[in-house]
Amino acid sequence: MMRQKLKQKRPFHVMIIPTLGCPSKCAYCWSSEVDSPVMSIETVKDTVAWLKDFRSDPVTFTFHGGEPLLAGADFYRQALPLLTGELTHLEPNFALQTNLWKLTPELADVLAQYQIPIGSSLDGPQELNDLQRSEGYYEKTMRGYELAKEHGLQVQFICTFTSHSVQFKEDIFNFFLENGLTLKLHPALPSLRSNEPDKWALSPEKYGELLVYLLDKYLENMNLIEVRNINDYCRCVFTGRGTVCTFVDCMENTFAVGPDGSIYPCYRFVGMPEYVMGHVRDRPSQKELAESGPGVRMRAFKEYVDIECKGCKHIRYCRGGCPYNAIAPTNGEIKGVDPHCIAYQRIFDEIAERFNQEMMGSLGLGMIDPGSQKGNNSRPGIMSLMQKMIAK
Ligand code: SF4
Ligand code: SF4
């Protein structure tokens, strides 16, 4: 009985957005806001009070922004004990997404005390990175990176590929490879706060091509680098289950708390009044959030995917992609699935086909030798990657 109960646990994710302010001015940014307030400790206390009886599953708190370190060392020194000490039944885990500019030895000490893994952002070599993100960005982030390492903090970088930087994909891949960094990528999204929302956005077609390119580069250099997204796509195909938020029904298991305590379905919606589901001070239940306007809209997306993607062989582990990508650009109207569907289909098909071919080859049913693709017999195949993932 006990074992059955444990199995039924559904981990959930609460993103805490201490502020939407950010000292950088990245050209394609869609999430920062000048003059955004900073979350008060009262709001953290309200968040704790809200979550006490909200549900009893394991929770991950991710501090996100804007730039979450703008909240300062005192904020984390007070917030972290509140979130851990009073919510032990939720077994809290933490993560933080930051550009590292504002990291100080004092802040690093607090974060190290809670062993908080850090996600940061670099778009490749300095010149390219600074062109997209802002002059001096690279140096400031690297300074923070060195400080984080000195304090024993783990940092992984996310690389945003834009319509511009995708032309330099080889340089970017080599940059991550030569610097011994794990590569995790994001396609630049249309910036809804910009006058030219599509200027930097990576088209779904180009994103699909990029993913196949990175699959090949990863296979060629499998022992030297990890490409996280390719691992995620492979895991989807191999296990038949999505393992990152884009490829599961994120609704009802993901929430974000904005600087003023408003609750949203995800950090991506923070600052959009039409997506406020409730407020932490009112301690809304799961049912109340699900019945709020944005809660209903998120569920409607899930039902839409059930119909719209019904004929797609990847539906089980794709689930229509990211609802934000699908509904934010159409003012909340559900007119389609995640526009990156084209890219998802491309990479899922590629992985599934190569896997099937290699399986047939290894069983002696086909002409293809495991590990051979496009005539390059020295390159490991998709099954080698699967073995690497299982071994890990
Ligand atoms: S809305 Fe998109 S980014 Fe946010 S949790 Fe859902 S899938 Fe992830
Ligand atoms: S790949 Fe496209 S059609 Fe298939 S499930 Fe994902 S979003 Fe739907």
Computed on alpha carbons and rounded to an integer, the radius of gyration of the chain in Å comes to: 21
Residues with CB under 6 A from ligand 1: 245-246, 250, 254, 266, 268, 322-324
Whether the CA torsion 234, 235, 239, 243 is positive or negative: it is negative
120 Cα: distance to centroid of ligand 2 (angstroms): 29
Helix (H, G, I), strand (E, B) or coil at 155: strand
Confidence label for 320 from pLDDT (cuts 50, 70 and 90)? very high
Q: Which residue's CA is the nearest one to ligand 1's atom 8? A: 245
Q: Residues 92-149: pLDDT tens digits?
A: 999 999 999 999 999 999 999 999 999 999 999 999 999 998 899 999 999 999 999 9
Confidence label for 332 from pLDDT (cuts 50, 70 and 90)? confident
Q: Residues 31-55: pLDDT tens digits?
A: 667 778 899 999 999 999 999 999 9
Residue 253 burial (10 A CB sphere; 0-12, 13-18, 19+): middle
Q: Which residue has the higher pLDDT, 32 or 392?
A: 392
Q: Residues 339-378: pLDDT tens digits?
A: 999 999 999 999 999 999 998 877 765 544 444 444 445 5
Q: State the ligand closest to the CA atom of 64.
A: 1
169 Cα: distance to centroid of ligand 2 (angstroms): 25
297 Cα: distance to centroid of ligand 1 (angstroms): 14
CB 123 within 8 Å of CB 132: yes
**What is the predicted pLDDT for the residue at 360?**
83
**What is the predicted pLDDT for the residue at 193?**
64
Mean pLDDT of 225-235: 95
Quick one: tokens of 117? Answer: 């893994």
Query: Residue written as tokens 């991710």?
Result: 62
Indicate the average pLDDT of the chain: 91
Across the chain, the runs of DSSP E, i.e. the strands, are: 12-16, 59-63, 93-97, 118-121, 155-161, 183-187, 254-257, 262-264, 278-279
Q: State the ligand closest to the CA atom of 314.
A: 2
Q: Maximum Cα–Cα distance for the chain, whole Å? A: 66
Q: State the ligand closest to the CA atom of 256.
A: 1
Mean pLDDT of 322-349: 94
**What is the predicted pLDDT for the residue at 198?**
78
